[in-house]
Structure formats: structure tokens, C-alpha cells
Amino acid sequence: MKDPYLYENSDCLINKANLKDKMKLEEFENRMTKVALVSIFKSEIRINNFQDMFIIHKKLFQNS
């Protein structure tokens, strides 16, 4: 059975950048996560509740 989360004939997850090489995808995700972390640190987000954690999670992974 074909995994609906993988590109056809590949073991790479379907992704926004349309990268089908696992190493390139990993590099892209790492770079985007680092950019998001810098943005979060600059915005001085305060964590007061779980909703704030969801906001941080979204910022971290929205471009990956």
C-alpha cells in the first residue's frame, strides 16, 4: 500500500518546498527552523499559557 505522505517512488515526505531528496529536505527544514527561532527571540514572546506554546510551535514549523 502506498504511503500518502511520501512522494511516489521515494521515501521522502511530501513537503512545501517540493524537495524529494531527504538530505536537502533536512537542510531546508533546519535552515527554516533556525530563521524562525531568531524571529521568536527577537519578538520577545512570553509564555503564559498553552496557547502561547501553540503560537511558538506554529512559528517554528509553518515554513518547514
Domain boundaries, the chain: 1-64
5/64 Cα distance (integer angstroms): 15
* Average pLDDT of span 24-33: 94
Q: Is the pLDDT of residue 42 over 70?
A: yes
Mean pLDDT of the chain: 90
pTM comes to 0.74
Answer whether residue 64 shows pLDDT above 70. Answer: no
Average pLDDT on 10-28 reads 93
* Interval 49-59 mean pLDDT: 91
pLDDT band at 3 (very low <50, low <70, confident <90, very high): very high
